Amino acid sequence: MRVMLTRDADFFVPLQERVRKARRVQADLFVSLHADAFFTPQARGASVFALSQGGASSSAARWMADKENAADIVGGINVKNRHADVMRTLLDMSTTAQIKDSMKLGSEVLGQIGKVGKLHKARVEQAGFAVLKAPDIPSILVETAFISNPEEESKLRDPAYQSKLVDALVAGIARYFARNPPLARTRQL
């Protein structure tokens, strides 16, 4: 596996640009890593999210997506031609397949990170995160822990815990690829 980062330091990259970067390198999947936060320090655990075409799988998932999406204004697809209905249908079919694959990827990753620490939710959640909207790339958003929880913040600062978390992410991704090999294609980077 080869990893391509959307950024290599602490600076903001617009949400739509993150997706564009993944599409530009013909990524086989997209993983967005975050540290969650909540109003109270009691919230804890890791979560994994996939895109939802409809509503969010919970009110918390909807709130999270709204909060993340507010970081950037996401543009839509330009289907202003006489084949707009065909294009919308193709986009819908592609997005449906992307969500199905994203749920598989999310389940594998969630299963592995659950071995490292506590899970906030035991299943992959769904919401309309803008950063997950590449219609042709399985995409997940991983909330590694709650930085607003002092115990979890301490874990996130610990290099040994970071290493365990990375190993779990890699194991989940490897399990996904073992069951869902990427399409062979010639990539020009």
CATH number at 69 reads 3.40.630.40
Residue 109 lies in a domain: yes
CA gap 98, 137 in Å, rounded: 6
Identify which has the larger pLDDT, 68 or 98: 98
Domain count for the chain: 1
pLDDT at 131: 87
* Domain that residue 145 falls in: 28-179
Nearest to 120 by CA among 98, 149, 95, 100: 149
Confidence of residue 97 (pLDDT cuts 50, 70, 90): confident
Average pLDDT, whole number, for the chain? 83
Pairing state between β 139-146 and 47-51: antiparallel
How confident is the model over 115-158, as pLDDT tens digits? Answer: 999 999 999 999 888 888 887 899 999 999 999 999 999 999 99
Identify which has the larger pLDDT, 35 or 183: 35
Q: Check: pTM over 0.85? Answer yes or no.
A: no
Residue 3 lies in a domain: no
Residue 45 lies in a domain: yes
Q: Is the pLDDT of residue 60 over 80?
A: no
Q: Helix, strand or coil for residue 158?
A: coil
Residue 96 lies in a domain: yes
Q: Is the pLDDT of residue 31 over 80?
A: yes
In this structure, are residues 105 and 176 in contact, taking their beta carbons and an 8 Å threshold? yes
Confidence of residue 66 (pLDDT cuts 50, 70, 90): low
Residue 73 lies in a domain: yes
The 3-class secondary structure across 59-119, one letter per residue, is: HHHHHHHHHHHCCCCCCCCCCCCCCHHHHHHHHHHHHHHHHHHHHHHHHHHHHHHCCCCCE
Residue 149 lies in a domain: yes
Residue 157 lies in a domain: yes
Residue 22 lies in a domain: no
Judged by phi (left if over 0) then psi (alpha if -120 to 50, else beta), residue 146 lies in: beta
* Tokens encoding 15: 């949400």
